[in-house]
């Protein structure tokens, strides 16, 4: 479901961009995420080591800083994070907030660790 979230956001994008007369290649550049950082880190808890995986995607840096939430959820994926980061770019641009778009996620269920 998560990977189709990214393809859905891209489909919404494609539907809209075809009605705009952008210079060749610009539409493709705006669509893709600039950079996605993966982190895997270990934490010693309850007498053993646990490894956690997370991502931070900066979809666009056409304005600084890139802005977006960090979610903690057990089932998140890198595609979901990139879809949400893209939405942040479009959201900020639409409402005129001078930010690029970003999003992060950490794969864990917060209720397991509190």
| Interface residue list for another protein (CB under 8 A) | 1-2, 4-5, 7-9, 11-13, 15-17, 19-20, 22, 26-27, 29-30, 37, 39, 56, 58, 60-73, 80, 83-84, 87-99, 102-104, 109-110
Supply the minimum distance, in Å, between the C-beta of residue 49 and another protein.
21
Query: Distance (Å, rounded) from C-alpha 108 to C-alpha 90?
Result: 27
Nearer residue to another protein within complex by CB, 49 or 95: 95
103 given a catalytic annotation:
yes
* 62-66 own/partner pairs: CB under 8 Å, 24+ apart: 62/89, 62/100, 63/92, 63/98, 63/99, 63/100, 64/99, 64/100, 65/99, 65/100, 65/102, 66/99, 66/100, 66/101, 66/102
Query: Distance (Å, rounded) from C-alpha 80 to C-alpha 53?
Result: 14
Supply the minimum distance, in Å, between the C-beta of residue 104 and another protein.
6
Nearer residue to another protein within complex by CB, 20 or 49: 20
Nearer residue to another protein within complex by CB, 24 or 47: 24
Q: Which residues are catalytic?
A: 103
């Amino acid at each position: 479901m998560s990977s189709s979230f990214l393809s859905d956001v891209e489909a919404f994008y494609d539907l809209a961009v075809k009605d705009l007369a952008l210079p060749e290649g610009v539409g493709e550049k705006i669509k893709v995420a600039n950079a996605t950082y993966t982190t895997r880190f270990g934490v010693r808890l309850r007498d053993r080591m646990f490894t956690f995986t997370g991502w931070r995607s900066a979809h666009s840096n056409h304005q600084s800083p890139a802005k977006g939430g960090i979610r903690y959820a057990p089932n998140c994926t890198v595609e979901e994070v990139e879809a949400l980061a893209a939405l942040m770019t479009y959201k900020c641009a639409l409402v005129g907030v001078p930010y690029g778009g970003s999003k992060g996620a950490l794969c864990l269920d917060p209720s397991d660790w509190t």
